[in-house]
């Protein structure tokens, strides 16, 4: 559903209607200055059907139809510029699932999947339906049901995203294929990467709304939604960038902070521009300390080496063609090189495929010969994963063949970013000034990190669009002192890649009233409905008003599939979430919803 929502875009006339929102008599006492947001705060939320947002997927329809009138959607008006609220306005879309009983007495739990640029509208449906399906036969199932009954759930499209006022960065500049691997160090390729960054900055800033797509404005939108829905306190669950947004909100409105869960936290004590470097550092750390040891432990399955060093050496042995193809495989077959349990097996199978392909390339085999050899032998010591290997075999030879075509790198298209990438770059560049404005620094940093781990891509670091960004906004990130009294709950896995534990712990160290649940031996990014009592009972009790007894609660992570006794392994593709589904009345549907929640945090 998330991808369908990205197609929705409001016309410019609607986006920038120059008018008040209505309401208010214009009078005020001399001693009480008029609230500049009074017109927005007095608007009436017109809840209605969600039909325009709903997809045709059978499973989605099954969920939506069961919710009936409990599912409702609305658009509210918000100032384009909160410093000049009497001028242009934008639209922000919400999707709410009401509690089954007495919803008017229940607070609203707002949800954000991350990004920036992540679509959060349907998170309300997935989470509300999942929790309400909790099985009363287990302690966790009972707690899920209790949370499902305690809240109304609100998903929303942040400004710039999806069903809200939309931002798309596009132009007529020629965008040519580039090499984003560690091998792309030629001056010509580096220039293509820099061009991509320049086109991003130029085309994003052409939009009349781009200066106002930032975390500060989105946090103020959230407080406006809180007010309009009648909540005294703000209740929130944010993942990844959603934690940055949550910290920012808590700094702006400390008196409005209610239970706020910040899952897979960015380091709010540092600049947002440190996050992209931290993510690649996190990928290196997680591969060396978590993924490679796992592969070595199961060398009988993956055949990449009996020690973590041998596994790393195999990855680092890849030549130019195999490395580039490996990076493309991840996009083509929808996995990443992080440490989520559902991705680890696919990524290791892909690495094994790239290693074997590289050997055959070095033997001067043709691509047809390579494909035949790879299909005729068994390389993976597990039937299910061997199937993945064979599926990707045609993909890797096809990728290499296309890149051997002399015209491949000369066929450019007009520059265009997706909605999510448009918002991502705009928020990052608007939130804070770039601390290092030397282009050579970003190029060198990107290729150094890729040299340390070949699955690190170079484009987004080497091509830093904020170098070319003419930052117009007058906003400042709230200082850490504004958060010291906030009773937030952070949830963090030990080997999280995009938002590493190290940064989360640095933030926690400066927040004496905030608590953390740390999941050791886990690499997932996004732990919503994790499936163990240690993690979920702590999180759910917090949402019900019971703070953790100590600042740091350490929980054991779930075993990765090949580490489990064979009787507990349902399917390797399900990763570690299969046991979570057993806490629900409909385990099959619960599994689908859990997978969707995990994908929301990508």
pLDDT in tens, 231-256: 999 999 999 999 999 999 999 999 99
pLDDT score of 33 = 79
pLDDT score of 51 = 85
pLDDT score of 230 = 98
The pLDDT mean for the chain works out to 91
pLDDT band, very low/low/confident/very high, at 600 (cuts 50, 70, 90): confident
pLDDT band, very low/low/confident/very high, at 160 (cuts 50, 70, 90): very high
Question: Reduced to 3 DSSP states, what percent helix, strand and coil does the chain have, rounded to the nearest 5?
Answer: 50, 10, 40
Exposed e or buried b per residue across 428-439, where buried means at least 16 C-beta atoms within 10 angstroms of its C-beta: bbbbbebeeeeb
pLDDT score of 582 = 85
pLDDT band, very low/low/confident/very high, at 566 (cuts 50, 70, 90): low
pLDDT > 60? residue 10: no
Q: How far apart are CA 278 and CA 286, in angstroms?
A: 12
Return the structure tokens found at 567.
Answer: 């009787």
How far does Cα 41 stand from its chain's mean position? 30
Asked which of 314-318, 372-376, 405-409, 567-571 is least confident by mean pLDDT, the reply is 567-571
pLDDT in tens, 87-112: 999 999 999 999 999 999 999 999 99
Average pLDDT on 369-395 reads 97
How far does Cα 397 stand from its chain's mean position? 30
Is the Cβ–Cβ distance between 357 and 318 less than 8 Å? no
pTM of the model: 0.92
Pairing of strands 170-175, 413-416: antiparallel
Taking each helix axis as running N to C, give the angle between helix 215-228 and helix 241-252, from 0 to 180 degrees, rounded to the nearest 10: 70
pLDDT score of 187 = 98
DSSP code per residue over 154-169: EEEE-TBSTTSSB---
Asked which of 186-200, 251-265, 335-349 is least confident by mean pLDDT, the reply is 335-349
Residue recorded with tokens 């600049």: 271
Taking each helix axis as running N to C, give the angle between helix 274-286 and helix 501-508, from 0 to 180 degrees, rounded to the nearest 10: 120
DSSP state of 11: -
* 44 Cβ neighbours under 8 A, 6+ residues apart: none
pLDDT in tens, 36-84: 999 999 999 999 999 888 765 556 667 788 899 999 999 999 999 999 9
Percent of the chain with pLDDT over 90: 84
Q: Residue 241: which of 199, 196, 287, 278 has the closest Cα? A: 278
Pairing of strands 170-175, 108-112: unpaired
End-to-end alpha carbon distance in the chain: 15
């Amino acid at each position: 559903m998330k991808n369908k929502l990205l197609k929705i875009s409001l016309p410019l006339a609607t986006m920038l209607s120059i008018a008040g929102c209505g309401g208010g008599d214009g009078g005020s006492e001399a001693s009480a200055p008029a609230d500049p947001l009074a017109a927005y705060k007095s608007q009436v939320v017109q809840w209605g059907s969600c039909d325009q947002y709903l997809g045709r997927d059978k499973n989605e329809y099954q969920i939506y139809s069961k919710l009936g009138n409990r599912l409702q959607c609305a658009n509210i008006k918000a100032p384009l510029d909160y410093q000049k609220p009497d001028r242009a306005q934008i639209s922000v879309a919400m999707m709410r699932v009401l509690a089954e009983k007495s919803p008017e007495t229940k607070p609203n739990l707002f949800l954000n999947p991350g990004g920036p640029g992540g679509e959060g509208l349907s998170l309300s449906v997935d989470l509300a339906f999942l929790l309400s399906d909790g099985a009363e036969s287990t302690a966790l199932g009972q707690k899920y049901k209790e949370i499902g009954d305690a809240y109304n759930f609100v998903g929303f499209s942040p400004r710039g995203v999806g069903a809200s006022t939309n931002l798309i960065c596009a132009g007529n500049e020629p965008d040519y294929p580039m090499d984003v691997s560690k091998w792309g160090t030629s001056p010509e390729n580096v220039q293509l990467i820099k061009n991509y960054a320049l086109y991003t900055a130029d085309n994003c800033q052409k939009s009349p709304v781009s200066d106002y797509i930032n975390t500060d404005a989105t946090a103020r939108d959230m407080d406006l939604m809180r007010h309009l829905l009648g909540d005294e306190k703000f209740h929130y669950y944010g993942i990844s960038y959603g934690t940055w947004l949550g910290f920012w909100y808590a700094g702006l409105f400390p008196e409005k902070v209610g239970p706020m869960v910040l899952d897979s936290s960015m380091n709010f004590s540092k600049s947002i521009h440190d996050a992209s470097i931290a993510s690649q550092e996190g990928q290196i750390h997680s591969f060396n300390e978590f993924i490679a040891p796992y592969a070595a432990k199961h060398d009988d399955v993956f055949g990449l080496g009996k020690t973590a060093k041998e596994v790393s050496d195999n990855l680092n042995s890849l030549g130019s063609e195999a490395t580039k193809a490996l990076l493309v495989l991840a996009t083509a077959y929808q996995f990443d090189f992080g440490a989520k349990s559902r991705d680890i097996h696919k990524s290791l199978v892909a690495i094994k495929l790239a290693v074997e392909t590289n050997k055959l390339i070095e033997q001067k085999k043709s691509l047809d010969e390579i494909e035949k050899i790879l299909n005729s032998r068994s390389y993976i010591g597990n039937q299910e994963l061997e199937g993945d290997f064979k599926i990707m075999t045609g993909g890797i030879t096809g990728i290499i063949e296309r890149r051997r075509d002399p015209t491949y790198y000369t066929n450019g298209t007009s520059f265009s970013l997706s909605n999510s990438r448009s918002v991502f770059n705009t928020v990052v560049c608007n939130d804070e000034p770039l601390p290092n404005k030397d282009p050579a620094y970003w190029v060198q940093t990107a290729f150094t990190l890729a040299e340390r781990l070949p699955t690190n891509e170079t484009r987004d670091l080497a091509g830093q669009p904020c170098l070319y960004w003419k930052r117009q906004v007058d906003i400042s990130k709230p200082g850490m002192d504004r958060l010291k009294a906030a009773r937030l709950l952070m949830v963090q896995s030990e080997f999280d890649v995009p938002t590493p534990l190290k940064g989360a712990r640095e933030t926690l160290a400066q927040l004496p009233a905030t608590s953390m649940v740390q999941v050791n031996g886990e690499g997932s990014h996004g732990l919503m409905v994790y499936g163990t009592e240690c993690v979920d009972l702590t999180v759910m009790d917090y949402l019900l008003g019971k703070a953790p007894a100590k600042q740091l609660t350490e929980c054991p992570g779930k075993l990765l599939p090949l580490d489990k006794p064979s009787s507990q392994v349902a399917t390797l593709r399900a990763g570690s979430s299969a046991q979570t589904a057993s806490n629900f009345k409909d385990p099959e549907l619960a599994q689908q919803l859990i997978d969707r929640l995990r994908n929301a945090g990508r």
